[in-house]
Structure 1
């Protein structure tokens, strides 16, 4: 039973810690996208799943909620995949001209293959431009397999509910109603693309990528400051007062209690915990196994207690602890030092001569789960400090220039801005596959370490 409880505790705290921190990271992307006028259709705690609990934000139309697969979180920012699909402008215009139309009807009308139409519709769904339509008896409920698509509600300027405050709901069409763009087909297509990640400029795209990293770092920093300046830590105090007595120990049998003040040991004065420990060790070294005499003060009265140490020479008393907090300025510098150490660790990972040393001290999701449970059992201050350090690591590790991390995407954006040419999708895909393969190898390596370390 104890083993089962330990496993459940490890899994629970691991999922809670990792999911919340990734959710916060994705929240940075979500807020930055909305600030840049880019549509976000979904923002969930947990991985994508057909079954979920959610509500729709009135201001942005974004579905926000939780899924049963609590392994992180995601923000569905529109247009992250910048694909060049020639038929997309025609399909977009045709769907709004009809209001609701099937893939087959679009293919026949536009004179293109149904597969090309489906591909364009998937892209437009990813832009938040159209919606899939399902029959009541359709059990698939997979939007990527829909055969019918509908125009979203549009106001006179062409805005949808995903455009937030710009959307005039009072004078908008209904979903599936025909709408003719007043700006013309090409301008309408550019209007839709401008509300996506791919349709905004370099600075906005870079801001969206860095926002998740920044939120993790700021969250970790503020959490550390809160722990040090508000919650505080229990630290040992060098006084001659007993903090606690081990149950069943010689001290417990002799009647010692928490809060008792030990004045002397075998006649030697003890005015601190250091002096008390030194005197007890000296008494044991002088005459091992002999009874030790302690002069103790309790509630203003003094009395002498005779104690026979156990086989290891211990009497069973613990040092007292007191809660200690830092002032805001000291908390700031201590928290900033943690950021510096984390940045140094990430940089060391990129130095070939230090890479293996850094990896040997790193841990996988299994190790994080085990340490999360241990930290939670040690109290809120320890757990929140641990969560803050993981948040810093999640944020700064995402700066590594390896796709599909944010740092890798940022490098691609920089290359495209300098060359003024798009990096081909094939190249981006290869880089992403290589990055995923690298992380899988690192995961296996660190998982092997964690199994040896914790089990």
Structure 2
């Protein structure tokens, strides 16, 4: 249960910030946002505020911001439709009601539609009950009512596709950008609450049942040398130890003004890509300084970003295969393990996942944010947008391929953890 809660909170936080980026920059550009959703599938909670409905959906596997002008967003008033109208004091339509065949509303005007434009010219024209051809202007905040569901119309200037290439690109880019911002703030909080590691080769904690503890190393020891190599910084210590997995090392430490010589065998840690490194089970000293915490947050975000790019490059070059990738099941199992290491390990894991989500979404692949940005780039070069049907088909193919990849990765996770 604890793992499930941690998984939902972490995944929900990552998705929330990603979609918040899209949402805020859409609002900044003047785009109407129909829905801000966390999760996918059936709605389990919804709250309307202003022109947006905020929903939580059943499946915690993503989220979305539905903007006006999306393919499924438009409502067409075709000739022959019979609608009911409610007008304001200026005789402008403020509400259009579909499927209304009775006069239960006293101020309702009935109209058989002949022509209508709810995007640019904002009018509706048709025949009233006396068969007279009449025309009404439509307010910009007119509401459509169909089967009890109310929807605001979206004038063209409030739609996504009406905005400049730069505004649309920034709205899409803002999602991954906010994942990097979230990672920075998580690392910042780690630095503020847990302290920022210094570069002094001083031991502050020795992990039980690890080589350092078994050899008699104590908190407060200052490492002077390893196998005769001088250790002046914490990075020196890390570099030497990581390069000696499964090897016995001689460590000289300074303790209370005296020198101690310790012998230990370095543990071997194996990464998913097959690489190994050494570990002896010690932690570095930390300082509590807000300014250093800010620098630490930026450095850790940058370092993790570079690390993920390295792993991505190894995947592209075939240095490790798709079997090394993890889907929701793998992330859940990893969360289960990391949660036992404490809150700061869990926070660090969340920051890594946030950066990973940001990078993956920026890949120039169909259906991802990076794929949409690629089309915006083509539009900027050509001076006109690519045909929306063709672009939609490319994204549809991308969605299918991503779903296939997700199924394969999830099946690999199930085999790895349960068989």
**Is the counterpart of residue 211 in structure 1 residue 174 in structure 2?**
yes
Contact 2:46/2:53 (CA < 8 Å) preserved in 1? Answer: no
**Is the counterpart of residue 332 in structure 1 residue 308 in structure 2?**
no
| 2:360 pairs with one of 394, 397, 400 | 397
| 1:377 pairs with one of 334, 340, 349 | 340
Counterpart Cα distance in 2 of 1:67 and 1:377: 29
- The equivalent residue for 1:222 is 185
- The equivalent residue for 1:130 is 143
Counterpart Cα distance in 2 of 1:449 and 1:400: 23
Aligned length: 326
Contact 2:22/2:172 (CA < 8 Å) preserved in 1? Answer: yes
Q: CA deviation at 1:219?
A: 1.1
TM-score (structure 1 length as normaliser)? 0.58
Counterpart Cα distance in 1 of 2:74 and 2:68: 15
Larger radius of gyration: 1
Judged with a 3 Å threshold, the aligned counterparts in structure 2 of structure 1 residues 98 and 227 are, in CA distance, closer, same or farther, namely closer
- The equivalent residue for 2:45 is 52
Counterpart Cα distance in 1 of 2:72 and 2:165: 13
- The equivalent residue for 2:12 is 19
What is the RMSD of the two structures over their aligned residues, measured on CA atoms? 4.6
Segments of structure 2 that go 5 or more residues without pairing to the other structure are 86-91, 102-109, 117-123, 125-139, 211-217, 222-251, 266-279
Match of 1:72, SS state, is strand
Contact 1:90/1:110 (CA < 8 Å) preserved in 2? Answer: yes
Counterpart Cα distance in 1 of 2:63 and 2:80: 34
**Is the counterpart of residue 341 in structure 1 residue 307 in structure 2?**
yes
Counterpart Cα distance in 1 of 2:29 and 2:338: 38
Q: CA deviation at 1:325?
A: 4.4
Contact 1:14/1:370 (CA < 8 Å) preserved in 2? Answer: no
Counterpart Cα distance in 2 of 1:67 and 1:395: 22
Q: CA deviation at 1:10?
A: 4.0
Segments of structure 1 that go 5 or more residues without pairing to the other structure are 1-7, 113-119, 121-126, 136-142, 144-149, 153-159, 161-190, 247-257, 262-268, 282-317
Counterpart Cα distance in 2 of 1:403 and 1:89: 37
Counterpart Cα distance in 1 of 2:35 and 2:115: 33
77-86 or 13-22, which moves further after superposition?
A: 77-86
Counterpart Cα distance in 2 of 1:33 and 1:194: 12
Contact 2:67/2:160 (CA < 8 Å) preserved in 1? Answer: yes
Judged with a 3 Å threshold, the aligned counterparts in structure 2 of structure 1 residues 448 and 64 are, in CA distance, closer, same or farther, namely closer
Counterpart Cα distance in 1 of 2:255 and 2:408: 48
Q: Indicate the structure with greater helix content.
A: 1
Q: CA deviation at 1:365?
A: 1.1
Q: CA deviation at 1:372?
A: 1.5
- The equivalent residue for 2:236 is none
Q: CA deviation at 1:358?
A: 5.9
Q: Indicate the structure with greater strand content.
A: 2
